[in-house]
Amino acid sequence: MPSSLQCQDNHKLHVAIIMDGNGRWAASRELMRAAGHEAGIEALRRVVRAAPDENISTLTVYAFSSDNWKRPEGEVAALLDLFRRFLDTETEDLVRDGVKLSIVGRRDRLPQDLVHEIERAEAATEWGDLLHLRVALDYSARDMIIEAAKKAAGAGDLTRETLAAQLGAPEVDLLIRTSGEQRLSDFLLWECAYAEFHFTTRLWPDFAENDLKDAIAVFHHRQRRFGALQAA
């Protein structure tokens, strides 16, 4: 937790984004939903490139929730194939740009070839030190908390600190959700305990560098009191 109650410009940020609105973007253009997901990948590229200039050191994005398995089989297959192609085409650029990639969530339900691609990309980008890009895939915050609690309790010491260590992520400073929805949808529940929220009606495929800049500017005007009184 920052020692100051102000949002400091020099504080390295953990920003989380719920990338919402791909399907609605495609429908508004009378396109297949897959086209919206393709456009969403381009939006992610823009944000990853812009993040270091906004003093963001960790960026966690919600790509596929554990509940998304309920979607039509064809759409799920298309999403997983898109992610497979993202790893294949983007890993070299991530290495060049100093971006470390981590995939968070379950892997036991993913196709084995996709798991191998994930492991390859994580190994290739391991030394990236400009930005840590965490992509939540088959992710449920409630399930992650349960598993972390089991591990921490198994070590004989279940505290906030040991649970947070098992979850393995810094606390979120700013959570952005696109498309006008205003809920967490089982994303980073523990890590967002004191996060600032920024909701925008912008559909994710339309989200650009200026949208990120605007969200960060709003964040820096917030008072973060963490339960204490506002500074005099």
For residue 58, list its beta bridge partners.
14, 132
Cα distances (angstroms) measured from residue 32 to each of 23, 26, 99, 179, 205: 8, 6, 31, 18, 14
| Terminal-to-terminal C-alpha distance of the chain | 19
Q: For helices 112-124 and 73-96, give the axis angle rounded to 10 degrees.
A: 20
**Looking at the annotation, which residues are catalytic?**
20, 68
Task: Name, in order, each residue with C-beta under 8 angstroms of 122's C-beta and a sequence gap of 6 or more.
Answer: 101, 102, 103
DSSP codes joined into one string, 64-76 = EEGGGGGS-HHHH
- Cβ pair 208, 43 in contact under 8 A: yes
- 48 SS3 class: helix
Q: Is 76 exposed, middle or buried (0-12, 13-18, 19+ CB in 10 A)?
A: middle
State both tokens at 118: 């994930």
